[in-house]
Every structure is written in structure tokens, then in C-alpha cells.
Structure 1
Amino acid sequence: MLVLGDTHSLPRTMNLAKGISSRRFNQATGRNGPVWAAAFHDHALRRDEDLREVARYIVSNPIRAGLAMTCGDYPYWDAVWLDRDGAPL
């Protein structure tokens, strides 16, 4: 969960998070270059059902990107709404 304070705006926070994680990912994998898309999409969640649906979409991103066959195969996933095969709990 991300809670913004008075120090940084959401765009600045995302820029910092993406920059730090990109550098660490590239260093760990011996890669060089962009990891994230330049933009980001924010969306206010208003109900628990929305949160569950969005969480399932997010943890399925590595499957859609061809990085894993199941959510459980991707080492950086974690969600309380899915089992290791991506099935709803």
C-alpha cells in the first residue's frame, strides 16, 4: 500500500520508485536500459471488489508479458487474493 504524505506528489513518488527499481533490476540482471513505461496510470479504488479485481490484473502482468506461465512462477509476485496458480481465493 502506498500512502502519500506532504513531501512528494504521486507523479514524483512514481518517478522515484520506478527509477530506483529500474536501476536495481538492471544491476541484478546485467541489463541496461528502460524497465518501465514512461507513463503511469492512477485510478481511485472505491470498493473492496475493485481492489480485488485490480490486484488480480496487476499480478497477472508477468504472465501477459511472457515472463511467467503462472503468477506463482514469477518470483516478485505477492497477493492475498490469489493462490500461487493465479486462481481467486
Structure 2
Amino acid sequence: MRDSLHFYAGKAYQLDCYCIMPNHVHVLLMLPDDALPLTQTLQSIKSFTAKKANKLLGRTGAFWHRETYDHLCRDADEVQRIISYILLNPVKAGLVAEWQHWPHTYLP
């Protein structure tokens, strides 16, 4: 998942933050003005990562849920709130005491 998010970064979107959890992923990204619509960008990521994950797991079929929760950030305060939410997700789940200890977090 990490490699896939970074592969598209700088090409299809600006990657601002993510946290890969055991059963879901949180991502904050910014689409450039000439980007594909968000739904197509997410579908591309989900399709690519599903194929890779299924291959690694030796399985076939649906990998991701069909629905996603996407949210438009309207100002810098909201961006900071979303970043905090993403970073603190493994802490809230009881996986680590501090977000910096979760190895599947990205914040440039």
C-alpha cells in the first residue's frame, strides 16, 4: 500500500499524510487542477493495490469495500484537524502509545 501511494504521488496527486491500519487506510491528498476526478483517482489506487494485495495473499476477489469516506478540506485549520485524526488513528486503536511509533504512517 505504501509503495502504491508513493508511486502515484507527484503524478496524480500531492501526498500529504497517510496511516495504513491493519484493516483500513487513511489518506490525505491534494489533487492538482488538471487531475482526474477524486472518484477515479481513488478507484485507480484501490484497483492497483487490490491486485497486489490479493497476489501477496494468494487470493482473488474483492479486497476493498466499495464505499469510501471522502471529505473536502476547505481551509488550513480543517487540514490540520484531518492530519491529527489520521496520525492519531493507531493511538486510538491501542496499537501504539505515540503516533510516531506506528511504522505505517507518513507525514513529510
More strand by share: 2
- Which among 68, 71, 74 is matched to residue 43 of structure 1? 71
Runs of at least 5 residues in structure 1 that lack an aligned partner in the other structure: 81-89
**Other-structure match for 1:52:** 80
SS of aligned partner of 1:60: helix
In structure 2, how many angstroms separate the alpha carbons of the residues matched to 1:61 and 1:16? Answer: 24
Q: Which has the higher contact order (CA 8 A, sep 6+)?
A: 2
Give the C-alpha shift of residue 77 in structure 1. 0.5
**Other-structure match for 2:42:** 14
In structure 1, how many angstroms separate the alpha carbons of the residues matched to 2:107 and 2:75? Answer: 17
Equivalences, count: 76
1:76 corresponds to 2:101: no
How large is the RMSD of aligned CA atoms in angstroms?
2.8
TM-score scaled by length of structure 1 = 0.58
Letter in 1 for 2:71: H
Identity across matched positions, percent: 20
